[in-house]
Amino acid sequence: MGEGMKRFLGTLCLLALASCSGTSGGDKAETGLAADNWVTPGGDIGKSHYSTLTDINRDNVGTLGLAWQAELGTGRGLEATPVVIDGVLYTSGVAGRVYAYDGASGKELWRFEPPVDMQVNRTACCDMVNRGVSVARGKVYVVALDGWMYALDQKSGKVVWKADTVVDRKRGDTSTGAPEVAGDVVVIGNAGAEYDVRGAVSAFDLETGKLAWRFFVVPRDPKLGPQDHPDLAPALKTWDPNSRWDIGGGGAPWDAINYDPETGLVLVGTGNGGPYATSKRSPSGGDNLYIGSIVALDAKTGRLKWHYQETPGDNWDYTSTAPMILTRLKVDGEERPVVLHAPKNGFLYVLDRRDGKLLRANPIVRVNWADGVDMKTGRPRLTPEKADYTSGPKIVFPSTTGARNWHPAAYDPESGLYIGSVQDMGNAIYMTPGQKPHQTKMLNNDAALLFTSDLQAILPGLPPPLRDAIAARPEMAWVKANPSGTELRALDPLTGKTRWAYKMAGWQDRGGALATAGGLVFQGSIDGHFRVFDKASGKLLKQIDTGSSILAAPMTYKVGGVQYVAVMAAWGGGGYPYVPPYSAAYKRGNQGRILVFRLGGGPVPIPPELPALEPAPVPPAQAAGVTPQTIAQGMTLFMGHCALCHANQPRSITPDLRRMSEGTHAAFRQIVLEGLLLPNGMPRWDDRLNAKDVDAIHAYLVDLQAKTRAAELEKQKRGQPLDTPGLTILSNY
Ligand code: CA
């Protein structure tokens, strides 16, 4: 580590809100990098997901085994990286639940379950996840899925204060990120740019929960009067006056928020525009500030100090919300404080975090929406002939799932490598005027998305003009050569070049990463393996079959003289209803747990395999008067209201409605209209659907169940496996 790095981290340490040295951090804690404690979900203030601990290292990692585990009693996604302060592990789970454990024994100290109105699931695109807590001044801060922020007593878990972070409860806001402590405030953004959401980041007083400031990411309708804050006046000029103000415009900053104590700035990564297609959102185009950007806000006032827009006009759901890492790098001979950022759009950016000056922007995957970034202007060289799908279908790389997404990467200060999962995949995208495509419709979006992973299989079934137009795109050569793939990669942040890579089990397999001074990189897989690599070479040193899918980032801490490595394990997040067939969740179910490892630990208890799939049960007879038109209408209503959560896939983590029991069929109206299963997470729809609509949906599902049963009985007769998953995948990252 260079002297400059030490100086920077020393400064961070002085300013850090949680103790840098902990109780027994030793010399290395003085650097501000994680040691015994892991003070933010990213480990240190810069969130480098790197630890200076060396007890577990290349020489002894072979004996890594389970120290303790905790079952959380949920079947939904877990994305948080825990925080450890003085031997206590704090983490968050489904919908913003918080757990505190003794880090050595695994004894639960307390838990907090926020009261969440499950109606919120109607606009939760990507599962009921939460990405972590923040701990400061004796309090643990978390945001619940419904946008209520809680400050909990660090010792007891009791609510000290709560604050509503949602500006307009009539819109589709949710919240899933880890709050960020920045000086005297705690900062959080909203999620939901797939719905009618106007992106905003809000800061609350650490002690009282009183709103300190709020930064709206996009302007409001100028006809309503002046903008909410002065930074929106220049932004307004980058939008068509007739933009879709009615649905908020998007820009929701749902993950990356980094406080930089060195500059006093809060760096925020902002989300995609809503709807996705720029032509539908802002008909005359424009950059649509501040979507797809990093905005740097004064932590005291919330006013904009600089911004850098990574994806001007964001036409592709690229968002800039992927985690950022603050560190120092020597760039062109000069050591600088930098932010490293690889958003969904395929580039790895290095910016000077004092002023947002662009230092590097290198592609890390196949990219065709831009032909590089002009380093003079900082703007991408757009290639509308390849990527503007307004005038016809295009195959655009990367896909909307992103080269990178929320899964944290690590920055290793020793080797200077940026280490994280990288996905190389595209989408075929086309406009769907006046029709709702089955399989692919996102609320408020007029663009249909077909992942290149499945494109060759899907193509023959598309209407001929669409099929032929997609098949004629030159990118079909890319699709044929390599439709998709995800790797754990170690990248040089200054060149974007890969030093080493490890191929993951499938494109959805993209876990978070941890690097340590012990020479190691840790990463979980959704195939159930927890893996340890040599960080210099990428050599696989150890893998433990846990039987649980893992997406979240591992972290490490030390208590009582023992180094532990912890990770939260469950499938979920974007695309959650579709459980990949190669995943542990598909084979063994999705019971969420925390797994904690140490040297000399024991075996991980592996959940039993799920029983073989049975043919769909016999559905009830159709009600009198049901016609093919009723069923068709029901399908349209289902795709518009239900399909985002109910993918109707085998082993989905939401019910496969082709397999409804007699009792569920009988209660169908009460479930959909009256909220019979609201406590389980199934919202009520009586404000949007009437009894006739629900009966039509039911008729469609009865028909589908009958067809599914017939097909499965036929398969069974031929001795074929029943659980061949379909191709329906909704892009909702
Ligand atoms: Ca999005």
CA distances in angstroms from 479 to 102, 313, 582, listed in the order given? 49, 26, 21
pLDDT score of 298: 98
Residue 176 C-alpha to ligand 1 middle, in angstroms?
Answer: 13
Instruction: Give the CB-side neighbour count of residue 523, counting CA atoms within 13 A.
Output: 34
Percent helix, strand, coil in the chain, to 5, is: 20, 30, 50
Give the tens place of pLDDT for each residue, 247-278. Answer: 899 999 999 999 999 999 999 999 999 989 99
Share of the chain above pLDDT 70, in %: 93
For residue 698, the CA-to-ligand 1 centroid distance in Å is 30
The position carrying tokens 């919240």 is 175
pLDDT band at 542 (very low <50, low <70, confident <90, very high): very high
pLDDT at 444: 56
What is the pLDDT at residue 641?
A: 87
The answer on 638 and 585 residing in a single domain is no
Q: 273 and 378: one domain? A: yes
User: What SS3 class is residue 69?
Assistant: strand
Cα of 318 from ligand 1 centre, angstroms: 7
Identify whether residues 286 and 400 lie together within a single domain.
Answer: yes
Q: Are 653 and 577 in contact (CB under 8 A)?
A: yes
Instruction: Report which of residues 562 and 17 the model is more confident about.
Output: 562
- pTM for the full predicted model: 0.94
- 431: buried, middle or exposed (CB in 10 Å: 19+, 13-18, 0-12)? middle
* Cβ–Cβ under 8 Å, residues 69 and 543: no
User: Separation of 442 CA from ligand 1 center, angstroms?
Assistant: 10
- Domain assignment of residue 527, yes or no: yes
| CATH code, domain carrying 305 | 2.140.10.10
- Determine the structural domain holding residue 133 and report its residue range: 3-599
Indicate if the pLDDT at residue 434 is higher than 70.
Answer: no
| pLDDT of amino acid 6 | 43
pLDDT digits (tens, 9 = 90+) for 1-48: 444 444 444 444 433 434 443 333 333 334 689 999 999 999 999 999
38 and 186 belong to one structural domain? yes
Residue 538 main-chain phi, psi, to 5 deg:
80, 5
Are 297 and 188 contained in the same domain? Answer: yes
pLDDT confidence band for 649 (50 / 70 / 90):
confident
- Is pLDDT at 431 greater than 50 in this prediction? yes
Ion ligand 1 residue ranges (Cβ < 5 Å): 272, 317
% of residues, the chain, pLDDT over 90: 84
Q: How many structural domains does the chain have?
A: 2
Q: Which residues, at least 6 apart from 291, have a Cβ–Cβ distance to it below 8 Å?
A: 199, 217, 218, 249, 250, 251, 270, 271, 272, 273, 309, 311, 313, 314
Contact 160, 135 (CB under 8 A): no
344 C-alpha to ligand 1 centroid (Å): 10
Instruction: Assess whether 538 and 658 both reside in one domain.
Output: no
**Does 612 reside within a domain?**
no
Q: Are residues 415 and 508 in the same domain?
A: yes
Residues 566 and 697 placed together within one structural domain of the fold: no
Which CA distances in Å does 132 have to 18, 41, 92, 425, 583? Answer: 15, 6, 5, 28, 24
Ligand 1 centre to CA of 530 (Å) is 28
Q: Is residue 604 part of a domain?
A: no
> Mind listing the pLDDT tens digit for each residue in 100-140?
999 999 999 999 999 999 999 998 989 999 999 999 999 99
The reply to whether 593 and 632 lie within a common domain is no
pLDDT at 519 over 70: yes
| CA contacts within 13 A on the Cβ side of 709 | 16
In angstroms, what is the span from residue 125 Cα to ligand 1's centroid?
9
Q: Is residue 618 part of a domain?
A: no
Residue that is last in its domain, among 599, 614, 639: 599
CATH of the domain at 665: 1.10.760.10
Quick one: which of 19, 42, 99, 74 has its CA closest to 556? 42
- Pair (384, 452) in one structural domain: yes
Distance 209 CA to ligand 1 centre (A): 28
Predicted confidence at residue 425, as pLDDT, reads 97
User: Does the residue 151 lie in any domain?
Assistant: yes
How does the average pLDDT of the chain come out, rounded? 92
Residue 16 Cα, ligand 1 centroid: separation in angstroms?
32
CA of 430 from ligand 1 middle (Å) equals 17
The Å distance, Cα 608 to ligand 1 centre, comes to 35
When pLDDT is cut at 50, 70 and 90, the band that residue 374 belongs to is very high
Residue 495 lies in a domain: yes
The answer to the question of residue 611 being in a domain is no
Average pLDDT (669-680) is 95
Torsion of Cα atoms, 17 then 23 then 28 then 33, to 10°: -30
DSSP assignment string, 93-160: -GGG-EEEEETTT--EEEEE-----GGGGGG-TT-S-----EEETTEEEEE-TTSEEEEEETTT--EE
pLDDT at 296 over 90: yes
Which band of pLDDT confidence, cut at 50, 70 and 90, is reported for residue 461? confident
Q: Is 593 found in the same domain as 632?
A: no
- The mean pLDDT of 571-583, rounded to a whole number, is 93
Question: 420 C-alpha to center of ligand 1: Å?
Answer: 20
d(Cα 659, Cα 173) in Å, to the nearest integer?
Answer: 31
Separation of CA 272 and ligand 1 centre (Å): 5
Helices within 501-645 (DSSP H only):
584-588, 628-641
Q: Answer yes or no: is 170 within a domain.
A: yes
Q: Worst-scoring range by mean pLDDT, 204-213, 340-349, 436-445?
A: 436-445
CA of 177 to the centre of ligand 1 (A): 14
- Give catalytic residue positions: 317
Same domain? 660 vs 520: no
Rounded to the nearest angstrom, the distance between the alpha carbon of 260 and the centre of ligand 1 is 26
